[in-house]
Amino acid sequence: MAFKQSLIALGMIALASPLYAASQDPTATGAPPGTPSTKYCMHIEAITGSRIEHVKCWTREEWAEQGVDVDHDWPKEGVRTIG
C-alpha cells in the first residue's frame, strides 16, 4: 500500500514539474541591471564538432558588438553577473 502511494505521489510530482515550467514566461524579465562595467555571463553555442558548452562574460556593449541583445537572451542563456 505504501509503495502504491509513493508511486502515485512521484507520478504527480513528475507530471506537475513540466506543467509548472511551461507556465513560466522566460521572456518576462531581462538581464539584471548593472553598471557599464558589469559583465554578463551567458552560455554560447558549442563550437562545431564539440559538445562542450562555453560561458562567456562580457559587458552589454561587448555583447551588442557581437549582435546579442542581453535583455532578450538573458532568461534562456544567462548564468551570472560579475561586478
pLDDT tens digit at each of 83 positions of the chain? 554 554 444 455 554 444 344 444 444 578 999 999 999 999 988 778 787 888 999 999 999 999 999 999 999 999 999 98
Residue type, 27: T
Query: Helix-strand-coil percent breakdown of the chain, rounded to 5?
Result: 45, 20, 35
Question: Looking at the 3D structure of the chain, how many domains does it have?
Answer: 1
Range of the domain at 68: 2-82
Residue type, 73: D
What pLDDT score does 5 carry? 52
Measured CA to CA, the distance from residue 58 to residue 66 in angstroms comes to 10
